[in-house]
Amino acid sequence: MDKYVIDGGKRLCGSVAVQSAKNSVLPLLAASILTEKRVVIRETPGISDVACMAQILRELGADVRFSGGNATIDSADACCHEIPSSLTRELRSSVFMLGSLLSRFGRALIAYPGGCDIGLRPIDLHLSALKRLGVSISERDGFIFCECAKLRGADISLDFPSVGATENILLAAAKAEGRTVLTGAAKEPEIVDLQNFLNAMGAKVAGAGTDVIEIEGVRELHGAAFRPMKDRIEAGTFLFAAAVCGGEVEVVGASPENLRLPLHKLRENGCKIHAKNDKIIIESRGRLKCNRRIETMPFPGFPTDLQAQATALNASCAGCALIVENLFETRFKYVPELQKMGADIEVKGRTAFVRGVGRLHGASVTAGDLRGGAALVIAALGAEGVSEVLDLSHIDRGYADLRTKLKKLGADIRRVHI
Ligand code: EPZ
């Protein structure tokens, strides 16, 4: 196991380029088996979730190679419709493979992905949508078996704008017979990226980014080479780190349009933000004040994937903040670790009451999930004294080269194998 050793209190200055978006590259990899032709996904991030998805594709019989930062997928020989339960457990978002497997093979067998550290994460919306497309589904001993000789387009409405369910529907409907109209779709930018990728393969998808998406099924899809969007959550993570540490940082690659609410909240804290095209410059002179209230909401609301990072910032500001997590049931499990650093936070259900203490102090803390782990790194960077952040496997799921990038900005951070 590895840990970070961080000597906090260093200002961050300089420029950092963000990686391709984890939450776009994963559904793009799932979409790659919708065609037997070659697919190239450029600049895939070196993160373990991508490696795990690549392993899933190999288990299905596809050939997946990484070179020069690109992923090349040849799935002509893919023939298996079953995903090993060990991989579904490791990467629960692999549930959107159901759509691809059903489209390619007419059947799919996966272990129930189950919950994780941030919540129950049911998949009822995925399954009811697939049934609308003609899929018969049986569940036994923790496995889900789906079967459908021919997917047929349908009108589908989601009671909640689930990102994964929206992606599953696009993957299943792309080659279904007839037209699918999805109402109540998730509007995240990663859905737009998936639409653009599918259309580059010859699909007919329109409306992504709004709550109504129309998919005209086509007979087959051809290969494509595609550059995914940049990771708005990694970008936001660096912005919150710069806010906590003080300094001036330019974050390159992510669109400010995809971070409107986080940028608004950072200005509320007292940071200066200049945003133009794909560059966001943040200036923080410390002595920041808490946000009165942050509520996580589906896009374009405040992203749940930046909730922990914003809480770590508010814990180090002056004043009080109310952080409400509306997407997941238990996404405050990182708070006890922040309390070890002197944070004054009380969690009641889905609400965290934060009393800013101005500055945290170093401590030994353990990451329990991806974004909670990122929040602990942010808190340690701004804290007085030395911290260590244990169990980096969670952070490695979504952040490639985090230490290198932070060190380049002036952080005193070492990765130590223990
Ligand atoms: C995606 O997860 C992201 N993961 C998550 O990012 C992100 O937090 C989430 O969307 C919300 O933006 C990927 O894209 C790989 P949802 P997903 O379906 O698709 C409930 C990260 O840190 N729900 O939009 O699983 C669910 O319980 C990860 O990068 C149902 O009730 O999210 C949750 O409360 C974490 N039934 C809410 O919807 C369903 O069938 C949002 O879930 C599906 C979801």
pLDDT tier, 286 (very low <50, low <70, confident <90, very high otherwise)? confident
pLDDT tier, 100 (very low <50, low <70, confident <90, very high otherwise)? very high
Residue type, 318: A
Q: What is the pLDDT of residue 121?
A: 83
Which of 13, 79, 80, 116 is the catalytic position?
Answer: 116
Q: What is the pLDDT of residue 52?
A: 95
Q: Tens digit of pLDDT for each residue in 27-46?
A: 999 999 999 999 999 999 99
Round to whole Å and give the CA distance between 281 and 64.
37
> Probe ligand 1: pick from 18, 121, 193, 258, max atoms within 8 Å of CB?
121
Q: Catalytic site residue 245?
A: no
Domains and CATH numbers, the chain: 2-19+230-417 (3.65.10.10), 22-225 (3.65.10.10)
The residue-averaged pLDDT of 193-218 equals 98
3-state DSSP call for residue 208?
Answer: strand
Q: Tens digit of pLDDT for each residue in 56-73?
A: 999 999 999 999 999 999
DSSP letter at 258?
G
The residue-averaged pLDDT of 275-301 equals 95
Closest CA to ligand 1's atom 8:
305
pTM of structure: 0.98
Question: Which contacts (CB < 8 Å, 24+ apart) does range 139-146 have?
Answer: 139/112, 142/85, 142/111, 142/112, 143/85, 143/109, 143/110, 143/111, 143/112, 144/98, 144/108, 144/109, 144/110, 144/111, 144/112, 145/107, 145/108, 145/109, 146/98, 146/101, 146/102, 146/107, 146/108, 146/109
Q: Tens digit of pLDDT for each residue in 229-278?
A: 999 999 999 999 999 999 999 999 999 999 999 999 999 999 999 999 99
Report yes or no: 155 and 183 within 8 Å, Cβ to Cβ: yes
Q: What percent of the chain is modeled with pLDDT above 90? A: 92
167 Cα nearest atom in ligand 1: 19
The structure tokens listed for 319 are 């004043």
Q: What is the pLDDT of residue 92?
A: 86
Which residue intervals of 141-259 are DSSP H helices?
Answer: 163-173, 189-200, 232-245
